[in-house]
Amino acid sequence: MLMDVTIDTVSPARVHALDHLEQVRRDEAFVDSLTIEDADARTRRQARELVAGVTRQRRWLDFVLGEAYHGDYDSMEHRLREILRLGLYELLFQSTPTHAAVDEYVELAKQALRPGAGNLVNGVLRTIDRDREHIPTPNTGDDAEDLAVRYSHPTWMVRRWLDRYGLEDTTELLRANNQRPMYSVRANSLRTSRAEVAEWLDEHGVVNVDSPYLEDHLRLKRLQTLIEEGLLDDGDVAVQDESAGLIVKLLDPQPGETLIDGCAAPGGKTTHAAARMGGDGTIYAIDRDEQRLERVAEAAETQGVSEMVHTETADLRAWAEQPDPPQADRVLLDVPCTGLGVLAKRADLRWRRSPEDLEEMAALQDELLDAAATLVKPGGLLVYSTCTIEPEENEHRIDDFLARHVEFDLESAEGHVPDEMVSDAGFLTTLPHKHRMDGAFAARLRRVD
Domain of 304, CATH number, reads 3.40.50.150
Active-site pick, 372, 387, 428, 437: 387
415-425 burial, b for 16+ CB within 10 Å, e for fewer?
ebbbeebbeee
> Within this chain, do residues 42 and 169 fall inside the same structural domain, yes or no?
no
- The predicted pLDDT at position 42 comes to 86
> Within this chain, do residues 261 and 340 fall inside the same structural domain, yes or no?
yes
Number of H helices, E strands in the chain: 19, 12
Residues spanned by the domain of 379: 242-447
**1 domain residue, yes or no:** no
pTM of the predicted model as reported, rounded to 2 decimal places: 0.94
* Residue in 429, 407, 127, 433 with CA at minimum distance from that of residue 250: 429
- The predicted pLDDT at position 3 comes to 45
> Within this chain, do residues 340 and 247 fall inside the same structural domain, yes or no?
yes
**68 domain residue, yes or no:** yes
**2 domain residue, yes or no:** no
pLDDT single digits (tens) 403-423 = 999 999 999 999 999 999 999
Strands 376-386 and 282-287: unpaired
Domains in the chain: how many in total? 4
**72 domain residue, yes or no:** yes
> Within this chain, do residues 107 and 208 fall inside the same structural domain, yes or no?
no
> Within this chain, do residues 281 and 369 fall inside the same structural domain, yes or no?
yes
> Within this chain, do residues 234 and 320 fall inside the same structural domain, yes or no?
no
387 catalytic per annotation: yes
312 phi, psi to nearest 5 deg:
-140, 125
> Within this chain, do residues 107 and 150 fall inside the same structural domain, yes or no?
no
Q: Which residues of the chain have pLDDT under 50?
A: 3-4
Q: Which secondary-structure segment (H or E) carries 239?
A: strand 237-239
Task: Give 287's strand partners.
Answer: 313
Q: Which positions ≥6 away from 176 have C-beta within 8 Å?
A: 344, 432, 433, 436
- The predicted pLDDT at position 7 comes to 52
